[in-house]
Every structure is written in C-alpha cells, then in structure tokens.
Structure 1
Amino acid sequence: MASGWARDGAVQDQIDATVEDAVAQARSSMSVGDSLEFCEECDKPIPEARRQAVPGVRLCIQCQSELEKEYKASAGINRRGSKDSQLR
C-alpha cells in the first residue's frame, strides 16, 4: 500500500510510541507510599474509604477531578513529527 514517504509499518510504530508514552505517563502519576489524611491541595480530609481504595492517595476527589480535567485538555494530540502525519 502506498503511503507517501513513510516506510511500511511507520503508522503502527507511531501508534505504539503514543501508547508507550501514555503508559509511562500513567505509571509516573501513580501514587506510592502511605496515603495522606488531608488533601495536599485544599487541606480537606480524605475519606478513609478513598485512602484504602487508592494506596498513596494525595488529593481529595474534587482536587483529583480538577487535575484530570486539566490533563485531558492538554492530552490527545500526537506531536510526533512524522512527515506522513503532517501531510494529512
């Protein structure tokens, strides 16, 4: 199949790299260690059930939701510089 200047398999390589980046980002954002009793952003108490369900939790549900909204707003664009993707 002709795909411009991209070599065979380049699209799959780009997809694989994007998935690897997402997995690395998710792993780096996972908390480790003891859960906090109070949110490190707003100082509200973190419920015991949340601390047990999410080991190493650092934020209350509201602050975590805000953080995830900000992340989703900036995520989703693949900025890898393949000439093939730039031509589309």
Structure 2
Amino acid sequence: MATGWANDGAVQDQIDATVNDAIQRARRQLPSGPSLLRCEECDAPIPEARRKAVPGVRLCVNCQAAFDETRVAAAGINRRGSKDSQLR
C-alpha cells in the first residue's frame, strides 16, 4: 500500500518500534537483585513463594497492587488505537 513519500510498511515499522520500546521500558522496570523478607512499605512479611517467583521483590502483594494502580492511572496510554496515536 503506497502512503505518499513513506516506504511500504513504514506505518507497521513505527508500530513495531513503539511496541518494542514499551517492552524494553517494562523490562527495565522489573525488580532485580535479592528479594526483601519484609515489605518496605508496610513491613508485612513477604512469603517465600513470592520471593522465589519475583526476584528482587520489595513489596507485599497488597502494596504492589496499590502501587500498580497508581502507575496505570498516571500512564496516559491511548487505548483507542487511533492511527495518530501510533505515529510519533
């Protein structure tokens, strides 16, 4: 499909680049290092199963859920999927 001056597949290349950027950003935010025995927010014990499942975990499940809710609300992701939102 011709899109003026852009090469064929240029829009898809931009979409792929946006997705790859998001994946890299998410991977950088993953915890690393040794896990804590107690939550750094509420001092509740972190179960061994959670510490094994999530290396570098610093929060209990409840505090992590609260933290994730605040991050999603502030993310500002355009979920409508409009063409303009995918072109940077």
- Which position in structure 2 is the counterpart of 1:85? 84
- Which position in structure 1 is the counterpart of 2:41? 41
- Which position in structure 1 is the counterpart of 2:31? 31
- Which position in structure 1 is the counterpart of 2:18? 18
How far apart are the structure 2 equivalents of 1:31 and 1:67? 14
With the length of structure 2 as denominator, give the TM-score of the two structures: 0.71
* Structure 1 residue ranges without an equivalent (≥5): 79-83
- Which position in structure 1 is the counterpart of 2:59? 59
With the length of structure 1 as denominator, give the TM-score of the two structures: 0.71
Amino acid at match of 1:19: V
How far the C-alpha of 1:2 sits from its partner, in A, is 4.9
How far apart are the structure 1 equivalents of 2:66 and 2:10? 36
How far apart are the structure 1 equivalents of 2:40 and 2:5? 47
How far the C-alpha of 1:63 sits from its partner, in A, is 1.4
Q: Which runs of 4+ in 1 moved over 4 A?
A: none
The structure with higher relative contact order (CA 8 Å, sep 6+) is 1
